[in-house]
Each structure stands twice: as C-alpha cells, then as structure tokens.
Amino acid sequence: MEEHGLGERKLKILHGIIKTYLETGEPVGSRTISKYTDLNLSSATIRNEMADLEELGYIIQPHTSAGRIPSDKGYRLYVDMLIVEKEQELNEKQEQMLEKADKMEQLLKQAAKVLASSTNYATMVSTPVNNSNKIKFIQLSMVDEEQVIAVIVLGGNVIKNKIINLDEPLSNENLLKLNMLLNTTLNGMPIEEINLGLIARLKEQAGIHSRVVGNVLDAVADTIQIDEDMQIYTSGATNIFKYPELSDKQSAQDIISAFEEKQQLTELVTQTLAQEENTGIQVYIGDETPVQNMKDCSVVTATYELGDGMKGTIGIIGPKRMDYEHVLRSMKRLQNELDVMFHKKE
C-alpha cells in the first residue's frame, strides 16, 4: 500500500479522528480524542500530535479555531489499512438477502436497491459486458416478404436481434444459403474478430446476390458490433441529501445528473473493468475519482464475474466520510452473492 512512517500513537490518533468524523460529520477536537481513545493522554498532548499530523497532510483545520477533519490523504491511509485488515477475513458467512429473480435485469435492479437501503448511499449496478465473447448461434428468418429478422445469441446467452427491411425480395433458397454461410463462418467466433475485412470476404463468398445479401450482412455485422447494451441501474441517488456536505445545490445537481445521464457512470464502469486489481474492489477518494462530477465524494467499485469473460460492476457513491468498513463488507458480500447466483443459473 504505502509508506506512511507514522508512529503507533499518531496512527491511533488519526484513526480516532477519522472514525469520529465519519460518525458526526463535525470537525473533531483534541479533547474528544483525548477521551475517546485508550491512550490516556491529555488534550494538550493530542493537540501537539495533531499539529504534526496536519503538517504531514493527513488532517485539515477548516479554520483556526475549529477541530480537524481528515484530508483525502488521511482517508486514503485509513482505507488502505482497512482493506489489508479485511482481506484476512475472507469467506465471511453470507446471508441470502436477494430473493431469486428469474430475470437478470430484475436481479441487478434489486441488488442496487438492497445495497442502497442497507448503506444509505447512492448505488449503481451495471449489467455484465463481454470483452471477448463468442457467437453461439446465428439465424436469419423471414418475417414477411419485406422483412427478415436476424437473431444472434452470444456466450452468456446474450441475445441480439435486428429486423432488416428488404428492398428487393429474397428467395427462400438464398436465405438458406445465407444461413449456412453465416453459421459455418461465424459460429464460435469471438466478436472482436468480426471486422470489415471479414464481412467483405463473406460478401464475396455469398456471390452474385450481393446487393440484398450485402445489406443483410452489413446489418448483421452492425448488430453484433454495437455493444451499447450495457445497462446501468441506479438506486438511492437521493441518499446524498442525508449528507449536508453534498446537499448544496451545486453538488447535488452534479451527482444526480451523473446518475441520470448514465454517461459518466458508463465511463466509471469501463475504467473499473479495465483496471485489474487482485481483490476487484477499488476505492476512489475525492479527486481520485474518474468521474469529475463526483470529486467531493468517495466512490467504491467492485467487479463481479460470470465466466465467459462477462464482467459487471457494482458501485457505491457517498460522502468522503463514508462508513468504509461497512461499505467494503457489503460490497464483498454482494460481489460473492452475484457470483454464486450467476454460476448457479448457468
């Protein structure tokens, strides 16, 4: 994690300050710490240590005659210690808090809701996306004289469709040929290998019918390529109003529009998925966050997996004085639960 070079005592004091501040949201003074910790030191001594901690950048004094609040650096140290500590106690007993829901979509929505209400922060859950997925099934069928429907199933049973409007008739015979061609060529193929070159070759092989066939192939390629199908479900955005430091108009507006417009959350997910961490859990404090709108918050993300290279992200957004302990625990639990659920379902 990091060299901090703080003595035991300074560490304890810092810990005390952060812990207290997490609860109260008010700057914490020397007297409080003096009584709170088991150090048996007078407030004066604490004051001296605090002065040091401030100089080292771990805490901040909002104004001369106020107590201290943690800086981002302080939070960071605290969280890092916490993560180390928590990694020990793996495989914690996990209750089943999620009812079974037969649709994944429902399940994830519910997960977000449960997480939000159990933490009192804003949450998001993304549907899993495939960085490297394979085509499992592909088929064209006539709907009527003017329309063909393409159905494609990817690994993880992701289904994609497209209705293709024909501008000239396509014989049953040709449809059959096309289906054969598509199946022999594309079946089992990872989608990232499907590119313009391949499509061109396919068109060539399809031979003389190239105009209609070409259109159909283009449509198919298009359908596969577009992977905007990551959905993000959010819940508890209004929880931020529980924290005065995020409740002023500007902050609230920033955070909530990030939640509504989803664009920024998508980036957050992408970035999270890209980063390969051992535990799969990441904590962004203040400016560390990839989402500019949330620079006054802390963001905790976790990755869950489905196999087949499908991965999704869970996220919690709250004030910097977040109950990191609880959040990390909840995260880990949900992460496990999702893993279990999805592997059961396969």
Q: State the residues that interact with DNA by CB under 7 A.
A: 26-32, 40-45, 47-48, 50-51, 54, 61, 63-68
Closest by CA to 14, choosing from 86, 88, 80, is 80
Tokens of 302: 């976790």
Closest by CA to 277, choosing from 92, 119, 83, is 83
Label residue 207 left, alpha or beta by phi (over 0 means left) and psi (-120 to 50 means alpha): left
Pick the binder of a second copy from 24, 94, 132, 139 (CB under 8 A): 139
Nearer to a second copy, 94 or 165 (CB): 165
Which residues contact residue 214 at a Cβ distance below 8 angstroms, ignoring those fewer than 6 apart? 203, 206
Shortest CB 74 distance to DNA, Å? 14
Q: Give the span between the Cα atoms of 223 and 66, in whole angstroms.
A: 60
Residue with the two structure tokens 């993560």: 83
Shortest CB 205 distance to a second copy, Å? 23
Binding to a second copy (CB under 8 A) within 246-265 occurs at 247, 249, 252-253, 256-257, 259-261
Nearer to DNA, 65 or 172 (CB): 65
Stretch that binds a second copy, among 73-81, 131-139, 197-205, 300-308 (CB under 8 A): 131-139
Binding to a second copy (CB under 8 A) within 147-176 occurs at 147, 149, 151, 153, 157, 159, 161, 163
Shortest CB 324 distance to DNA, Å? 22
Contact by Cβ (8 Å): 238, 253: no
Tokens of 76: 């960071």
Q: Indicate whether 143 belongs to the interface with a second copy (CB under 8 A).
A: yes
Shortest CB 143 distance to a second copy, Å? 4
Nearer to DNA, 9 or 160 (CB): 9
Shortest CB 42 distance to DNA, Å? 4
Q: Please choose which of a second copy, DNA, none residue 272 contacts, taking the beta carbon within 5 to 8 angstroms, the exact cut-off set by kind.
A: none
Q: Indicate whether 234 belongs to the interface with a second copy (CB under 8 A).
A: yes
What does 244-276 look like in DSSP terms, one character per residue? HHHHSHHHHHHHHHHHHH-HHHHHHHHHHHHS-
Q: Indicate whether 86 belongs to the interface with a second copy (CB under 8 A).
A: no
Q: Give the span between the Cα atoms of 9 and 13, in whole angstroms.
A: 6
The four Cα atoms 172, 177, 180, 181 give a dihedral, to 10 degrees, of: -140
Q: Which residues bind a second copy (CB under 8 A)?
A: 136-137, 139, 141, 143-144, 147, 149, 151, 153, 157, 159, 161, 163, 234-238, 241, 247, 249, 252-253, 256-257, 259-261
